[in-house]
Structures are given as C-alpha cells and as structure tokens.
Amino acid sequence: MTMKASTRQIDGVTIVDLSGRITLGEGSVVLRDTIRDVVGHGTKKILLNLGDVTYIDSSGIGELVSAFTSVRNQGGELKLLNLTKKVHDLLQITKLYTVFDIKDDEAVAINSFAK
Amino acid sequence: MNATRVSYTLDSTLESVNKAEEMAQNFGVKAGFDEEEVQRIAMAVREAAVNAVLHGNAYDPKKRVTVVFETSAQALTISVRDEGQGLDALDIPDPLAPENLLKQSGRGIFLIRAFMDEVRFRNMEPGTEVTLIKHVRGADSDGKEASQ
C-alpha cells in the first residue's frame, strides 16, 4: 500500500492525515513534499495524524525527524497524533518518543499549540 | 521442522527491498514466530536489504543482492549480501546519542540489532554480508523442542 497524504485546517492548525507506509522511496517523498508544501504556505502549526500509517522504516523515521527539524527551524511546531502500537514502539526504541510531542486526541492536540 | 535453505538473487532496486521484506515475512510465519516477531524480522531484513541496495550496491544495475533464508528447529537465519565497497559496521555512530538523535539517517543497523537475536557482519570480496539470526523460542541448543 502506497502512502497518501491529505491536509485540513482546524483553528489555525494544519492537520496532515497520512495513510499507508512511510518507507524509503515513494512514502518518504510524499511526506517530504507535503511538509514542504505546507511550510511553504506559511503554516507554523502542523499536526501529523499517523493513525492510518501501517508501517514506518528507518527512512520514514528519518523523514519524520527531518519534518520536525525543518518546521522548528522555521519557527513552527510539528506534533504527532494517533500513533499505532508499531509506530509507538519504533519511536520508543529510537528514543524519539522523547523528542516529539505526541498526542492521542485531536481536539487536545489542536488546543496544545501556542496561541 | 525440516531444515531448509533457499537463496534468492535480486536486482539493486527498491522493488527488491520490498521483495526481501515480503519473503522474510513468509519465512517468519513458516518458522512459527508470532505476528510481532514476524514484523520485527521483516523490518530487520528490509533494513539490511536497503543497506545492500542503497549503500552497498548504490543502485548499480550490474550488482546483485543475494538473500539466503535458512530455517531449522533452532532458528531462522537470513543473510543479505551486496557487491559493494564494504562496510565497517563498528564505524556507525550511535543513533541514540544526544548529538545524533535528530539526524535524518543512521538508524538501519541499530534497528536490525534491536530486532534480531544475533547479527554478524562479514567483509567479502566484494561486498558485505550481514547475517541475521532469530532463535525459535522453546528450542534447546540441540534443536529439539523443549518440553512444556
């Protein structure tokens, strides 16, 4: 299953709904292009919804880290929403669980961004 | 379980990475590992195949990746070999070190080691061979099923 990304806006936060596999190749490219596009439109509050992401490999993890740092370098915030157990375990093993702000409720996540 | 050994020769492409991952999944299921273990084995093999295709063979269409699956009562053993310049696995920075945590790459071998019971690297002429081993739980060192 290839990766798909769509975006929506709620209260000034851009929610990127991702589904499929974030892996070396197409999946990583879709994520990179989507983040570049969103940041290019001046968005500073980004919530990546990973609820339908079935699989992430090391390249996908690298892409998440890259998205996080590039948004932060632009003065923005990127948070993660709805991790599956697989993705949660992976972020824990790689210690990135301590780096990302991770939420499991969309409304709470939206309210957590700086006003 | 009867011991089996199956060898595949793959092109240096991303499709081969997906193929290696799928095969690892099938062999993991056949070897009797549970769903989570199968996922971890498949991911480790995927990472090893990425290293072989991308870092080892650099997508060179003249170079091949050889993946060998060996099943026995004791373990599932997978070796992934490329035809590249060789790799010093000891020379790879720790991705958990604070200064490396936000690096984009460098987690593949770490994940392979985290997900498998044993990992060995061997420099070949040419290339690198990485051998991944997952022990069958409940099998003793003689390969007999342990009694419950």
What tens digit of pLDDT does each residue of A72-114 get? 999 999 999 999 999 999 999 999 999 999 999 999 999 999 8
Q: By the 8 A CB rule, do A64 and A56 touch?
A: yes
Average pLDDT, chain A: 94
Is the pLDDT score of B147 beyond 50? no
Q: Write out pLDDT tens, residues B25-39.
A: 999 999 999 999 999
Q: Do A95 and B96 touch (CB under 8 A)?
A: yes
Is the pLDDT score of B61 beyond 60? yes
Distances (CA, A) of B84 to A74, B44, B145: 39, 20, 40
For A40, what's the count of Cα atoms within 13 Å in the CB-facing half-sphere? 6
Is the pLDDT score of B3 beyond 90? no
Span A32-60, mean pLDDT? Answer: 94
Q: What is the pLDDT of residue B146?
A: 43
Average pLDDT, chain B: 91
Contact A65/B at CB under 8 A:
yes
Q: What is the pLDDT of residue A26?
A: 83
Q: Write out pLDDT tens, residues B88-101.
A: 776 789 999 999 99
Q: What is the pLDDT of residue A4?
A: 93
Is the pLDDT score of A34 beyond 80? yes
Please provide residue B107's backbone torsions phi and psi, each rounded to the nearest 5 degrees. -105, -5
- Nearest residue in chain B measured CA to CA from A63: B104
Please provide residue A64's backbone torsions phi and psi, each rounded to the nearest 5 degrees. -65, -45
A1 pLDDT tier (thresholds 50, 70, 90): low
Contact B14/A at CB under 8 A:
yes
Contact B38/A at CB under 8 A:
no
Q: Do A25 and B46 touch (CB under 8 A)?
A: no
Q: Between A3 and B96, where is the model more confident?
A: B96
Q: Do A61 and B107 touch (CB under 8 A)?
A: yes
pTM: 0.91
Locate A42 and state its tokens: 């001046």
Residue A112: CB atoms within 10 Å: 15
Q: What is the pLDDT of residue B90?
A: 67
Which of A96, A76, A78 has its CA nearest to residue A87? A96
Is the pLDDT score of A20 beyond 90? yes
Q: Tell me which amino acid residue A96 is.
A: L
Contact A58/B at CB under 8 A:
yes
Q: How far apart are CA B131 and CA B84, in angstroms?
A: 16
Q: Do B50 and A58 touch (CB under 8 A)?
A: yes
Q: How far apart are CA B101 and CA B113, in angstroms?
A: 17
Span A5-19, mean pLDDT? Answer: 96
Long-range contacts of B139-145 (CB under 8 A, 24+ apart): B139/B73, B139/B74, B139/B75, B141/B74, B143/B72, B143/B73, B143/B74, B144/B73, B145/B73
Give the range among A61-75, B78-92, B124-138 with minimum mean pLDDT: B78-92
Q: Which of A24, A86, A95 sits opposite B101 (nearest CB)?
A: A95
Q: Write out pLDDT tens, residues B77-88.
A: 999 999 998 777
3-state DSSP assignment of residue A20: strand
Q: Tell me which amino acid residue B29 is.
A: V
Q: What is the DSSP string of A28-97?
A: HHHHHHHHHHHHHTT--EEEEEEEEEEEE-HHHHHHHHHHHHHHHHTT-EEEEE---HHHHHHHHHTTGG
Q: Pairing between strand B64-71 and A101-103? A: unpaired
Number of Cβ pairs < 8 A linking chain A and chain B: 44
